Amino acid sequence: MTDSFLDPRLTERRNPRTTRIDQASPRQIVELIAAEDAGIPAAIAPVYDDIARGVELLEHAFRAGGRLFYVGAGTSGRLGVLDAAECSPTFGTEPELVTGILAGGYKALIRSVEGAEDDDNAGIQEMDAHRVRGHDVVCGIAASGTTPFVRAALGRAQTLGARTMLVSCSEPPAILRDSCEVCITIRVGPEVVTGSTRMKAGTATKQVLNMLTTGAMIRLGKTYGNLMVDLRAWNAKLGERSERILMEVTGVDRPAARAALDLADRQVKLAIVMLRRGVDRADAERLLRDHGGHLRAIIGDPPEVTPA
């Protein structure tokens, strides 16, 4: 008897705990999925140090004028696009700072593009099209660790002098582990539905991407304590949040907060410095430049949290 039908990739193995899920009630299905998801934090914990190295790599790249490119196919690629899209409104970054590159392009966001993940030439071409360079970081996302589009993109990025990372949920090929500066392998185990990596692997990957970009942005001074002080008020909800943050940090009322935000071109951090230090916009901008954008160095500690 041979075991050749067994796939070496952990994400492709069968889950012994869900082999009878097709006979389960709706409530039992929910419980089975939830039980599998409950193990995700424990799977991430062993790679905390790898994630921290990824945060450091991104921080250094951003400080040097570099960019982050996520590269992936299917669910993995869509998660990279999602994380990239959220950085600008959350942290006030330029849209080009974090970019998600998805095998198959924009149409693959909403519909599977047959064969896109196997197109290694496309992975190479994407690196050239985005003019990847030395200070940039290219982070491959591949649940299986073996996606040809991702492997080719990482190889080309290294040739162009960029730093590289890989986020996977199965042990990647030795050549990738040896060549990427950071490898984050989250061993969440076989999926509830065999091979459906939009489930545990997708959830774990989303958590890790959150940690990478959020950690780097915090290190760059994009938060004040845990307050989102570099957000961009592109809608009514974010505008209202900007006013609330300014009111909490400076003690002014809402009309005064709105007026200060108008003078600061809706930039929360700038408005905070203007109000707390009693300076005009030019002086506030100078203070922020001199202190690397970190508010604590300019106005001290943030206010205590009001109990809920």
| Residue positions annotated with a catalytic role | 86, 117
Residues in the chain: 308
User: Three-state SS across 154-203?
Assistant: HHHHHHCCCEEEEEECCCCCHHHHHHCCEEEECCCCCCCCCCCCCCHHHH
Q: Which of 173, 228, 234 is nearest to 8 (CA)?
A: 173
Residue 237's alpha-carbon distances to 163, 165, 234, 258, 286, in angstroms, are 37, 34, 8, 14, 29
**CA 20 vs CA 23, 24, 31, 43, 193: distances in Å:** 6, 7, 13, 24, 11
Q: How many CA atoms lie within 13 A of 29 on its CB side?
A: 7
**Can you say how many angstroms the Cα of residue 3 is from the centroid of all Cα atoms in its chain?**
38
- Note whether 288 and 270 are within 8 A (CB): yes
HSE-CB for 283 with a 13 A CA cutoff: 10
Lookup: tokens for 217: 């942005």
Rg (CA), the chain: 22
Nearest residue to 205 via CA among 156, 178, 233, 165: 165
